[in-house]
Structure 1
């Protein structure tokens, strides 16, 4: 482990919530203006990449809606927003939904390791690595490029959640030629991890409120209130223009009666998701004796799919496949010694329903990986005895073996150790 992680007085993780970030800027528009000024002044670039795959029409719809939600708010000459499609030529069913001119990446390079083994062509981590390879092939300065990967299957997502991932890096960038940062609070940041609460929203609620763009959290609040308390005023009409519906803003702005009705409505039509992530956080909180454990407790949603870093930083960290991507990203960021990591507490979001075969098995796999990343004495998979759980029967619980035991996902080498395989060499 890098000595910097546990060094006294060296703050590696910076907590950022929307109220603190927006306070000196006059709202989202003011923050966006300051960020765009910093990007121009220091000659910086931001790449927002929406990862899309498969043939599910619902995923194509959510991808197009997210583009419409993010584009008008975030896309500028300095911020590139692209859809990256994994799995062959881009389906017509997807391109027909996108706006004319929306860039789509589909011809991803094939990567080979030092042993000649090819990087698999499926999986989120593999998709991410191929996108990074494309950016490196046309990069002019990896330290001045910030790359943010977003899931494309959001039902509820606010553009400000993406902005908060790269805004602190841009505002805190200090040029070697003496250009001062716009905000010294953020100096030295090189990694960002999103931490918005994941919601499981009532399907009928999101369908009835659907538009041609991804719903914002405020849209969801209005839809829940309209269904639960039709006579109540909408939340959007009650808040000041441009205000974000953070918990603090809602508590300051709404009357106690309206706040109670809103809380009841949201409790009826949504529930908190991310059980595996909460389980990992509870495990870390119960130990908190190892420097990595203490650092990871600062992130409210360990398996949240939004993360960003400079292209230079992305290129030198080993990443695990599947849901291990998020954990390995954080562990590598904290150990790297390159720069600080932001833990961005953003507005709640909602995905399309997941089709994971077993949440319990997923939890075991991520627990095993987490122990390995932290540096536990003995990884779970190496203990040589079966893991057991209590299974319910008509006569009570019966201990059964978990079959098969979940392996620890192996991390890929850093991108700098891969080479691109030309089409005619395959």
Structure 2
């Protein structure tokens, strides 16, 4: 029996395919039991597949130990028959493990038709679920067992869930945004492009339909995405709006199941985002299903697929910082503003350079009027090198150098200007509200 899909030493959540709940160790008053609960990623929902020396399978050990410190494994309470409860046991029983590709793990007693499943029953008008033995005759013929005896196995440890509330980065280069923030977070206002690690095509909105596919990486608006924290996960918003100007979010068409098409919708959904160095995986919450590429003649479709360690579900992340303008006219000077300034950051040996898609009008300072250094410093005309402040807001990603004699204007709206003043870092470092050169 091949178990190559299970990595030694990894921690797994076992999420029931039918109910979407996870096997959970409950330790109350020193009497450990098993339950099926909503996902919370605690140690009592994490399990390891342990070698027992038996060729038929593995023991399944809980990562949380009870008060006595001794490990607990999935065991059986009583006779091996339907509806017998699965319980935590100090004995490392060996279970046979089979992967039904695209559907989940089937965990059974070796050489039998009995498997671990979830049973529901009504008690005092309330439906109660428990982990118990199921009889699945079809499994011996290679047929698909019932969904209640199939388990999505979400690996925790291949990649860490993205934490919330990440600090502002001090600098930017062409390195991946995750790497630039120490592998800690995806700032929710940064713009990302996601390139599939296997096919080297980028996740993009396939207009005029709502389909999400992969195409040649060009960094255009259809390939730009923003990660916005929501609950324990992230909304993934497209930079491309609907024809009516409404925001569009990455979701799944219909039920979350293998092969379900990834699309965009006006109604957001929260994804579980995991990262590893310079790449991410996008999990549909409470499942082991990830956004993956499916090859097709016209274009690569993006669908949900059972998690595997292959590159088709790995997305290489690149951050694109942009400074844009919402206003067309400066309120104080009446100057007509140019088109939005798109800024990409690239790393030279000792200098962080910036490329502009358009040039700000006079009398405002241009980005090229400043020298930018890789350590986060900049120097304006006639100025000594000073430290820059990187600001992330809900709509902007702006670099403001702390200059004493001249100010830097970055085409920002009044609301963002207010946010900047509220920071109050060094009063002498800020110019007037106009943010114009020489004031």
TM-score between both structures, scaled by the size of structure 1: 0.24
Q: Which structure features the higher share of strand residues?
A: 2
Higher relative contact order (CA 8 A, sep 6+): 1
- Report the structure number with the largest CA radius of gyration: 2
TM-score under structure 2 length normalisation? 0.23
